[in-house]
Structure 1
């Protein structure tokens, strides 16, 4: 057994990847509502359970019961009804309204009802709508159809579109995840003239303030520890302007207190960020606890940065497998190989790394101590330090990829390909 096999031995295999259609990707997170579903078939129950695992349902209190309309009427005879009842029934169209009568007698006026039936009948649909049913779906129904129906009831179609959140995390400390996050945010803001907010979630050790040569008097700690005050106006006061379209919510980078958070500590901030900017870049520290899991589970896109060694490979595989299970209806994370080609360091080949993760790297960034060190010491981004460098080109390509302006292609070793070709010709 070689070293790579040993590092990956007994690691959990990746969960099967669920297709995430464009309709699902476009859905907004559902508000804090209660839903009780009554399922008569295994297929509908499986679809409802899949809905419950989706990150867009994080705030929803979902209960699933095996049964139909009679079970619902019996249960709510002595209980208050939830915001939404989903009912599956096989009753014939001419008898359906009569079957629903006992439930109608015990339903609160504000409760919405979605019916899942077996008859594709436009006359039945119109009759149900006239009698106050919110939606009628025809079996078989999938998770996307159910969630779209719920969103159609509870999400305002005229609401302003939400911005996207992109979370960056390193497979190991020191692999350059923060540097990549900051450079990608800078390029998104400059290339597309789009408003971008960088949120440095590493409160004790964050480096965004150093990398952008800023020393703000307030920032992330005020946002996290004053959730009752947090709204778009308060957030705007906490932001530091780095350039015309780029703002920073800086970490205090101080050790004057212990930074312990509950699981949902950053959820209010993520909600406000989505309403405040088209793109929010979350610089997540290398840690694994309740709040980091929650942030990664709820972000729209994830980027894992790794260096090409064995510990990074093991950690990256664990993270990818776990995040696939946490986010079963989303695309897998993007992963970036950084610091490739460090002198005298034995490395795991990019092809072996990709094969183990079952993912193609979004980018392969060569080790360039001079360029990255110069940029860090001067508080500038790579594109500002050397716009014509291969690394600057790579960050521009990542900006296109992460904003959906280009599809992912097989990564090349930026800056190394020409050198390797020249060596082969010798």
Structure 2
């Protein structure tokens, strides 16, 4: 019998459970019960994730049932045994909290062994849904692996976080609990603000410790959005960026891809080592530029670099943001400069700026704005059964040859 954790401040209870199992069962340090699984896992000295957690109700009834409830919801692979002398009074509440068994504080060794055996059978009978169940094998790069979508741009200020957050929210709404969004701008990531989140844990926490070794623990460290979207928020401080190694990041992304149908990555401007590590795992590349000369020329250079690195990406989606008929450039100008087609043109939108300031993505605000409709089309490119607007998209108008001449005169080929 193994993988048991004791949450009690009473030494006699610890001794009785250890005698019943014949093993040195680990116990949480003395003090209040952790508020949830993430806090519990942070207290584990050896990092081994238990199959059964024994909670002493004498540490606080409300705290015990709350911890049991969260373990049942967030960690279905862990069974909870409640130690209490108030089984008749707490039975219904314990059942609702997902407690598998209640044992009295003075239980003998046989009763303890039987309760633990039942709990272990419960946890081993709980088989999480298979990772590929119901999923389209063609959605990922290999069977049983989620689809990794990276949103990249060579320069900042082009709306990359707006695109990434709306794409992730749209995918999460199309299939609940299917999507995780990773803020990979290690120094100045703004995903948390864009979604109005106050994360308890960030990217730094999930690449270290027990969360990096166990996918069940990892999920408890993710920040949950109201849509069911899971989020790995960027570090609290730019100084923490050095705590995220490339190898640790690669392992994290691989784990997330094994647990979620969609992994959306909001990268930092420029091709950093972390961005390149993400691109190595990317199935769909969303390339973003603003409709201006610096943005378009930067995108052309980035495409050239990716081509030189052997990152051609069969599934590549070029998006032009901030389109304006008075910008001096047209869609044709952009395509001629970057040497490939543009898949989606997003109009300049006042509502987009408001949504970022309010922390409510456009796809949730239901704002009557042309960009909202275009963002739905972007989400449709990745969902199994897209519902497209039957009306043909209008091409972005422009002043003709003026923009193209200006791009080429500045050195674009």
Quick check: 2:210–2:217 contact (8 Å CA) kept in 1? no
Aligned to 1:366: 347
Quick check: 1:203–1:221 contact (8 Å CA) kept in 2? no
Unaligned runs of 5+ in 2: 1-141, 400-413
Unaligned runs of 5+ in 1: 1-158, 421-426
Aligned to 1:395: 375
Helix, strand or coil for the counterpart of 2:321?
strand
**Could you tell me which of 342, 345, 348 is aligned with 2:329?**
348
Quick check: 2:177–2:230 contact (8 Å CA) kept in 1? no
Aligned to 1:247: 230
Aligned to 2:109: none
CA distance in 2, matches of 1:408, 1:319: 30
1:387 deviates by 4.5
Instruction: Summarize the Cα distance change of 1:257–1:337 in structure 2 as closer, same or farther, 3 Å threshold.
Output: same
Aligned to 2:309: 326
1:243 deviates by 2.4
Cα RMSD for the two superposed structures: 3.2
Instruction: Find runs of 4+ consecutive structure 1 residues off by over 6 angstroms.
Output: 407-411
Quick check: 1:364–1:413 contact (8 Å CA) kept in 2? no
Helix, strand or coil for the counterpart of 1:402?
coil
**Could you tell me which of 155, 159, 162 is aligned with 1:172?**
155
CA offset digits 1:264-319 (Å, max 9, x no partner):
34210111111111001011010223222221132111111101112212211122
CA distance in 1, matches of 2:210, 2:318: 32
Pairing 1:57-72 to 2, within 5 Å after superposition: none
Quick check: 1:363–1:412 contact (8 Å CA) kept in 2? no
**Could you tell me which of 142, 145, 162 is aligned with 2:145?**
162
Quick check: 1:324–1:332 contact (8 Å CA) kept in 2? no
TM-score, scaled relative to structure 1: 0.54
CA distance in 2, matches of 1:368, 1:207: 19
**Could you tell me which of 253, 261, 264 is aligned with 1:270?**
253
Aligned to 2:121: none
CA distance in 2, matches of 1:253, 1:262: 16
> Number of paired residues?
257
Greater mean alpha carbon deviation, residues 285-294 or residues 182-191:
285-294
1:226 deviates by 4.2
CA offset digits 1:47-95 (Å, max 9, x no partner):
xxxxxxxxxxxxxxxxxxxxxxxxxxxxxxxxxxxxxxxxxxxxxxxxx
Greater mean alpha carbon deviation, residues 308-317 or residues 396-405:
396-405
Quick check: 2:205–2:211 contact (8 Å CA) kept in 1? no
Pairing 1:289-304 to 2, within 5 Å after superposition: 289-304=272-287
CA distance in 1, matches of 2:325, 2:213: 44
Aligned to 2:51: none
TM-score, scaled relative to structure 2: 0.56
Instruction: Summarize the Cα distance change of 1:293–1:413 in structure 2 as closer, same or farther, 3 Å threshold.
Output: farther
Asked if 1:286 is matched to 2:269, the reply is yes
Helix, strand or coil for the counterpart of 2:247?
coil
1:389 deviates by 2.5
Quick check: 2:204–2:243 contact (8 Å CA) kept in 1? no
CA distance in 2, matches of 1:213, 1:412: 32
Aligned to 1:375: 355
Helix, strand or coil for the counterpart of 1:165?
strand
CA distance in 2, matches of 1:293, 1:246: 25
Aligned to 1:217: 200
CA distance in 1, matches of 2:349, 2:393: 16
Helix, strand or coil for the counterpart of 1:330?
coil
CA distance in 2, matches of 1:284, 1:328: 16
Aligned to 2:18: none
1:405 deviates by 4.3
